[in-house]
Every structure is written in structure tokens, then in C-alpha cells.
């Protein structure tokens, strides 16, 4: 086989795979603008019959709660969980990397790893009981605090802090800096890129979270967009167009976010997997 036909074949396979990956987005987007009857008669039509924004008034209220409430909840819960998670995890990982000689620190790391190994969907069951005991059911604090515990952030920070040579800290210590000063003046400036990566990655992951939100909530007042979407999808009497429109609203923000920061997201999410 000649080099050109090989190239052609490689491009053909890659294009087909990409098309399969992307087609569901296009179908979702087109379907959001088409009526249920129109989709039933020709499911594959590649563009809508006409652009009508009428559907967005159909999803203006889901299950008696206005759409904007879910949007605000999603933004609020995701942002706060991401910010708290980044700060808390960065500090924790820093301490664990700097002082592996402390037995309790090593135990804490083991406990954290066990938490990750535990089937996440089933961790929600005992977490529900913990929230019940602490009186956190039904409110934002419980949801936000639980989401802020993020494995991927921990690994990103742990891996980064391990690359800082200890001579850097020792030099600062000799210069008379205490640990807080070293953290603020030496470590934090170096850590800016990894903090940005960790923030973006965990924002994307927190945005997608649904089960903890659903389990800790007591009413749709604290639901985020994915939970609202799941509810709408489970309702009797299919509002097909509404489901697709809500799926678009749930997906579009993170899609744009990913496209803007794709290099960082891809390297961040897979960092630590293979040592470079």
C-alpha cells in the first residue's frame, strides 16, 4: 500500500471516529429546535425545519421550579465547591508531601485513597446518613462540602509539590522564613499553573455531578441542571423537545469551557497517570 493511500485510510478512520463522537451533540442541538412530530417523521434530518426559540419557553419551568433557579444553583454550587476544594486540597497535599514522616499524615493519605476506591455511587448512601446526623440534609453546605473533596485535584497537587526540590525550601528556611512565609512567597507563585489546571478540571467535573446533589437535596430548590434533566427525562408523558433543550443548556457551558482550555484540561485530567 502506498504512503498516500495509507494516509488517506488513516484520515478516513480518524474522521469517522470523530464523527461518531460529535454526532450526538449535533442531533441534540437540532432536536432542541424541532417538534416531537417532526422528529418522529424524520429522525435523521440534519437541520431543523425552522429556527424557533419557542422550546425555551417550554423549559422555562421544570417540575414547578423556574429554569433560572437550576442555572443559578449549578453555577453557585459548582463554583463554590471548586474554590473550596482547590484551596483545601492544595494545602492538604502540600503538607502531606512536605512531611511524609508524620504517621498521622500517612494514615490520612491512606484514608483518602480508600475513599477514592470506595464505589462512589454507594459512598453516597453512608454520606446521606452522615448528613442526616449532622443536620446538613436539604441545604447547600452539605452538597458543596461533599463535592469539594476531589481525587483528581489531590493527585495533581501531590504530583506538583513532589517536583519542588527540597533545596528551595531549605534555602528559604536558612534565610529565616517560617513555613507560612515559604508557602506564600515561595510555593504559591510556583503553583499558579497547577492551581489554574486543577480549578478548571474540577469545575468541569463538579458541573456534571448529580447523585450527591439529588440525594442531599430535599426539594428541587437545590437541584442543579443535570438533576433537573434527569427528572425531566424520567417524567411520564415525554417532553422530548424540552429534554433536548435542557440537555443543550447543561452541556453547552462546559463544552465551550473545554474548547477554550482543551490542552490544559486534557493534560490535567490525565496527569499523574504516566510519569513523564
Residues 217 to 246: which contact other proteins by CB under 8 A?
225-227, 229-230, 233, 240, 243-244
Report d(CA 230, CA 214) in Å as an integer. 10
How many residues sit in the footprint of other proteins (CB under 8 A)?
98
Give the x/- contact pattern for other proteins in 9-48, rule: CB under 8 A: xxx-xx--xx-xxx-xx-xx--x-------xx-xxx----
Closest CA to 58 of 237, 224, 223: 237
Q: Which stretch binds other proteins (CB under 8 A): 53-61, 65-73, 191-199, 208-216?
A: 208-216
| Binding of residue 61 to other proteins (CB under 8 A) | no
Give whichever of 9 and 60 is closer to other proteins, judged by the CB atom.
9
Beta strand ranges found along the chain (DSSP E): 61-62, 65-66
Q: Binding of other proteins at residue 75 (CB under 8 A)?
A: no
Q: What is the CA radius of gyration of the chain?
A: 23
**Helix or strand or coil: residue 176?**
coil
Considering the complex, what minimum distance in angstroms separates the CB of residue 164 from other proteins? 15
> Whose CA is closest to 138, among 69, 71, 209, 214?
214
Binding to other proteins (CB under 8 A) within 99-138 occurs at 99, 101-102, 105, 108, 111-112, 114-115, 117-130, 132, 134
Instruction: Give 19: exposed, middle or buried? Use CB within 10 Å, 0-12, 13-18, 19+.
Output: exposed
Amino acid at each position: 500500500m502506498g504512503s498516500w493511500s495509507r494516509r488517506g485510510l488513516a484520515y478516513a478512520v480518524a474522521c469517522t471516529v470523530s464523527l461518531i463522537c460529535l454526532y450526538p451533540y449535533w442531533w441534540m442541538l437540532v432536536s432542541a429546535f424541532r417538534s416531537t412530530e417532526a422528529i418522529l417523521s424524520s429522525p435523521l434530518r440534519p437541520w431543523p425545519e425552522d429556527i424557533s426559540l419557542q422550546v425555551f419557553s417550554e423549559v422555562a419551568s421544570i417540575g414547578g421550579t423556574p429554569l433560572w433557579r437550576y442555572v443559578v444553583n449549578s453555577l453557585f454550587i459548582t463554583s463554590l465547591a471548586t474554590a473550596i476544594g482547590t484551596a483545601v486540597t492544595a494545602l492538604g497535599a502540600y503538607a502531606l508531601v512536605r512531611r511524609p514522616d508524620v504517621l498521622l499524615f500517612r494514615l490520612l493519605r491512606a484514608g483518602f485513597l480508600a475513599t477514592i476506591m470506595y464505589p462512589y455511587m454507594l459512598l453516597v448512601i453512608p454520606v446521606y446518613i452522615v448528613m442526616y446526623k449532622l443536620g446538613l440534609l436539604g441545604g447547600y453546605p452539605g452538597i458543596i462540602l461533599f463535592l469539594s473533596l476531589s481525587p483528581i485535584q489531590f493527585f495533581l497537587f501531590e504530583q506538583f509539590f513532589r517536583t519542588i526540590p527540597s533545596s528551595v525550601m531549605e534555602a528559604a528556611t536558612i534565610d529565616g522564613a517560617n513555613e507560612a512565609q515559604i508557602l506564600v512567597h515561595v510555593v504559591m507563585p510556583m503553583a499558579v499553573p497547577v492551581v489554574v489546571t486543577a480549578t478548571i478540571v474540577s469545575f468541569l467535573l463538579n458541573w456534571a455531578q448529580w447523585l450527591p446533589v439529588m440525594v442531599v437535596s430535599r426539594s428541587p430548590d437545590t437541584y442543579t441542571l443535570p438533576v433537573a434533566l434527569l427528572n425531566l427525562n424520567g417524567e411520564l408523558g415525554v417532553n422530548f423537545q424540552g429534554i433536548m433543550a435542557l440537555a443543550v443548556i447543561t452541556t453547552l457551558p462546559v463544552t465551550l469551557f473545554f474548547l477554550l482550555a482543551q490542552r490544559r484540561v486534557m493534560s490535567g485530567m490525565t496527569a499523574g497517570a504516566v510519569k513523564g
